[in-house]
């Protein structure tokens, strides 16, 4: 099984697939977030390998926490790799984890391909298990959620938002926190 790759991106498709050159071998990887990735960039990805009768498929994640969360989602009946990847493309892992722990069906149902019935099933199956698989705390300060929502409304994707929130220390005041995140994104 492949668990981690480091290499240079040689191809990037709009479908969220990329090809990573690792020592002259190109690995095709479906990624949760390709918004901050460019052809020629050096990338490190944690990999979930799925072996099927007709293919070996690699799913790549910027953090091990995202990969573990993806694997946890796959354990839910009715949730396959496409749906689990769509979940991570729609919102940050911490936000989705919080929605599941909080039993917020409407929030989970915002994921493309997931209706109320599947959202209920995800919550039923995973509620209480999220804290066990998380290497980061589930609760997030409300100012962080507010900054995430503001950045999302400005058109930033989940990967960019996650990078901004991890890349800066957010001040207590919400407007200052948003300003710090925007300055970080502007420097990239």
Burial of 86 from C-beta contacts in 10 A (0-12 / 13-18 / 19+): middle
**pLDDT of the residue at 131:** 57
The three-state DSSP-derived secondary structure of the chain is CCCEEEEEEEEECCCCEEEEEECCEEEEEEECCCCCCCCCCEEEEEEEEEECCCCEEEEEECCHHHHHHHHHHHCCCCCCHHHHHHHHHHCCHHHHHHHHHCCCHHHHCCCCCCCHHHHHHHHHHHCCCHHHHCCCCCCCCHHHHHHHHHHHHCCCCHHHHHHHHHHCCCCCCHHHHHHHHHHHHHHC
Separation of alpha carbons 171 and 50, rounded Å:
41
**What percentage of the chain exceeds 90 in pLDDT?**
14
**pLDDT of the residue at 129:** 75
Separation of alpha carbons 8 and 174, rounded Å:
37
Tokens matching residue 126: 């995973």
Backbone angles phi, psi at 43, to 5 degrees: -135, 145
| CATH superfamily assigned to domain 4-61 | Nucleic acid-binding proteins (2.40.50.140)
**pLDDT of the residue at 29:** 92
**pLDDT of the residue at 34:** 62
pTM over 0.75: no
Low-confidence stretches of the chain (pLDDT < 70) are 34-35, 130-144
| CATH code reported for the domain at 64-133 | 1.10.150.20
Residue pair 103/153 in contact (Cβ under 8 Å)? The answer is no
Chain segment 84-96, per-residue pLDDT in tens: 998 998 888 888 9
**pLDDT of the residue at 140:** 45
Residue keyed to tokens 């020629």: 40
Backbone angles phi, psi at 57, to 5 degrees: -115, 135
Distance, C-alpha 113 to centroid of its chain: 16
């Amino acid at each position: 099984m492949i668990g981690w790759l480091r290499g240079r991106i040689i191809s990037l498709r709009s479908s969220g697939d990329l090809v990573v050159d690792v020592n002259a071998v190109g690995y095709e990887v479906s990624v949760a977030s390709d918004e901050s990735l460019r052809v020629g960039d050096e990338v490190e990805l944690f990999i979930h390998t799925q072996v099927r009768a007709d293919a070996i498929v690699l799913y790549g994640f910027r953090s091990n926490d995202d990969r573990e969360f993806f694997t946890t989602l796959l354990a839910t009946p009715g949730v396959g790799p496409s749906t689990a990847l769509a979940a991570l493309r729609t919102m940050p892992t911490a936000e989705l984890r919080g929605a599941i722990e909080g039993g917020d069906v409407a929030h989970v149902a915002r994921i493309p391909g997931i209706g109320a019935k599947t959202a209920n099933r995800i919550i039923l199956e995973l509620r209480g298990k999220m804290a066990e698989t998380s290497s980061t705390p589930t609760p997030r300060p409300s100012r962080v959620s507010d900054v995430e929502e503001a950045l999302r409304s400005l058109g930033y994707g989940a990967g960019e938002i996650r990078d901004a929130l991890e890349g800066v220390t957010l001040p207590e005041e919400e407007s200052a926190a948003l300003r710090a995140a925007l300055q970080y994104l502007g420097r990239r």
